[in-house]
Copies of this chain bind each other. A is one copy, B any other.
Amino acid sequence: MPEIHSLQLQPIIDRALEEDWGNGDWTTDLCVQKGTKAHASIIAKKPTLASCLEIAQAVFFRVDPGLNIKLRAKNGDPVGEKTLLMEIEGEARSILKAERVALNFLCRMCGVSHMTSRYVAKLKGFKAKLLDTRKTSPGLRLLEKWATSIGGARNHRLCLTDGVLVKENHIRAAGSITNAVNRLLESLPPTLKIEVEASTLDEVHEALDAGADLILLDNMSISEMKLAVRTVRGRVLLEASGNITLDNIADVAETGVDFISSSAIIHSAPWADLSLLFTVP
């Protein structure tokens, strides 16, 4: 992943704070006196993967640049039960107003990275690389793709601009794979490859002949994928896609495909179980 610049991250954080605060935090500002200092620790209550700690940090700093924050883990670290991830010190009101939003980001991202790392572990020893997809939470895609890359996946395109993927619906609207690829070859910037979705071996052949650089094997059986690999003989890259699970991913990798993509690593990843411990000295 390219770095997420603060110019990209800030508006996402601001919207999350605005959404959570509404017109103000009655509880904190009425109960807690200004000037009260506190210390907070963010702890993983169950095993997970440390991820995107800088987002949580940025939330706290956005609320109060005077907070003193120390990251106690590195992105990509597997963390066990009761592991300290981050410490925050300073104005109690600030910590309390940032807490929920910071944790909502962090629980989500650690969850995605953790799930990704479990899939990646299954690919050990195989050529195939894990890819993510565009099935992401609206508004959080760059963050979730950062989380998959921390978990060990390679990113597929970030958006519709940095990759061409001719899917079944495009093929129908274009008339055929050949039509679609021809039109792309005419006008596409030379910096982009052409990927075509194929669900049969015939389509693999057509894509190959039309000039695709990459073929996505959509929901094929293991034996079909093996045939596709043999057919293609390295002339284009192959991506397997569709219903990839922790149980079947190794079998898919064994077919010899170059990439395996999974959307479940994002949309089915449960939140990490983190909490913020708070002490007033």
Contacts and interface: CB of A to CB of B under 8 A. Distances in A.
A154 B189 contact: yes
Interface in A1-50: 1-5, 7-8, 12-34, 36, 38
Contacts of A3: 24, 29, 34, 93
A157 interface: yes
Contacts of A32: 170, 173-174
Given A140-B137, A160-B26, A164-B26, A270 B268 contact: yes
A166 B134 contact: no
A138 to B, nearest CB: 4
A163 interface: yes
Contacts of A164: 26-27, 30, 191
A24 B135 CA distance: 18
A131 B7 CA distance: 30
Contacts of A2: 23-26, 28-30, 160-161
B142 A140 contact: no
A59 to B, nearest CB: 9
A74 interface: no
A69 interface: no
Interface in A92-128: 92-93, 95-97, 99-101, 103-105, 107-108
Interface stretch (A79-87, A199-207, A223-231, A272-280): A272-280
Nearest to A25: B160
The 6 closest A-B pairs by CB, nearest first: A2-B24, A163-B191, A22-B161, A22-B159, A16-B138, A25-B160
Given A8-B24, A31-B173, 10 more contacts: A2-B26, A12-B139, A19-B23, A31-B170, A32-B170, A38-B172, A103-B135, A104-B136, A138-B140, A158-B161
